[in-house]
Amino acid sequence: MMYGILPVTFRFRGKVRRLFNMYTCFLKHPGIGLHPTQVSRYTGIAFAEVVVRLDATPELFVRLPKRKDGITRYRLTSATAAREPEDVQKMLNTAARRESMMLWAISAMIVCVLVIVMILIGPTL
């Protein structure tokens, strides 16, 4: 999502449930790489959203080298696969909270700049 003139994208904020559903999908199919259409079918998430989430979160998912048939598959990273689901959920929530704090900080800075401009321009009106 792009907010105005600031090129800020949020990879976790508002997407924790979808990411965790994709994570559990990979847990249910261990040892094999899954194509985004398979993940989409198993989770019920739109194909385009699955592709974006898989590419945007290298902390969770890794793209496997293409095989002879040219199909791109994904797997969980080894660090993520070794974690317990509760730890992954906690990591996702922490990342989403961090992004929310960044959004609030940027918003507060913009409001402060606007207040300073109003204070400087106010007496001349």
Name the residue with higher pLDDT: 52 or 1.
52
pLDDT for 68:
80
Average the pLDDT over 54-83 and give the result: 91
Phi, psi torsion values for 51, nearest 5 degrees:
-60, -45
Asked whether residue 66 carries a pLDDT value surpassing 90, the answer given is no
Asked whether residue 84 carries a pLDDT value surpassing 60, the answer given is yes
* pTM to 2 decimal places: 0.83
pLDDT for 3:
55
At 79, which helix (H) or strand (E)?
helix 78-82
DSSP lists the bridge partners of residue 76 as 61
Asked whether residue 98 carries a pLDDT value surpassing 90, the answer given is yes
Quote the CA–CA distance of 13 and 76 in Å, as a whole number. Answer: 20
Asked whether residue 8 carries a pLDDT value surpassing 80, the answer given is no
Model confidence pLDDT, tens digit, residues 21-51 = 999 999 999 888 999 999 999 999 999 999 9
Query: To the nearest 10°, the Cα dihedral for 5, 56, 45, 49?
Result: 40
pLDDT for 4:
56
pLDDT for 5:
61
Classify domain 16-124 by CATH architecture: Orthogonal Bundle (1.10)
Range of lowest pLDDT (9-13, 60-64, 96-100): 9-13
